[in-house]
Amino acid sequence: MNITIDQTSGRVPLTIARLEGDLDASNFEALIERVRELHQAGTRDLVLDLRSVPFMGSSGLVALHTIALLLDGQPPPDLESGWEAHHAIAKSVESGTPQEHLKLLVLDDPASSVRRVLSRTGMDRFIPALTDEAAAIASF
């Protein structure tokens, strides 16, 4: 997976991380670490562009959840705890409180693998998933 970083601003300064390639167990921790570095360098609001991600596994969901918590100033789940990280996702989705500091850009195609995963898990209720970059930027 490749990650390209762009800086832009709407009402607030934004970072856009554009992902290309699968998001799975082989690379989800690298994505978390890259966002952790961005956060330490001052990023507070982030758009994750997933439009060039053909496949996202369950570890990708863990990455998205962890990133949302990091940007919200909350402690992330222990990635070594296995299913506990997935249970933490379910609790966040059930809370009904969408993230303010993280938005996702996804393909405008209901058959998209990423959209299906977000929808089936309810993650799109926790992290807003938009199809238009300008709308994603304006949403902050």
The answer to whether 119 touches 62, Cβ cutoff 8 Å, is: no
The answer to whether 19 touches 3, Cβ cutoff 8 Å, is: yes
CA atoms within 13 A on the CB side of 140: 21
Across the chain, which has 140 residues, the per-10-residue mean pLDDT values are: 94 96 96 97 97 95 95 84 74 83 95 93 93 95
For position 131, what pLDDT does the model report? 96
Number of CB atoms found within 10 A of residue 55's CB: 12
For position 97, what pLDDT does the model report? 81
Residues in the chain: 140
What confidence tens digit (pLDDT) does each residue in 84-113 have? Answer: 776 787 888 888 788 899 999 999 998 899
The dihedral over CA atoms of 67, 68, 69, 72, expressed in degrees to the nearest 10, equals: 120
For position 92, what pLDDT does the model report? 81
Q: Where in the chain are the domains?
A: 2-138
- Topology at the third CATH level for domain 2-138: Transcription Regulator spoIIAA (3.30.750)
pTM as predicted: 0.91
For position 52, what pLDDT does the model report? 97
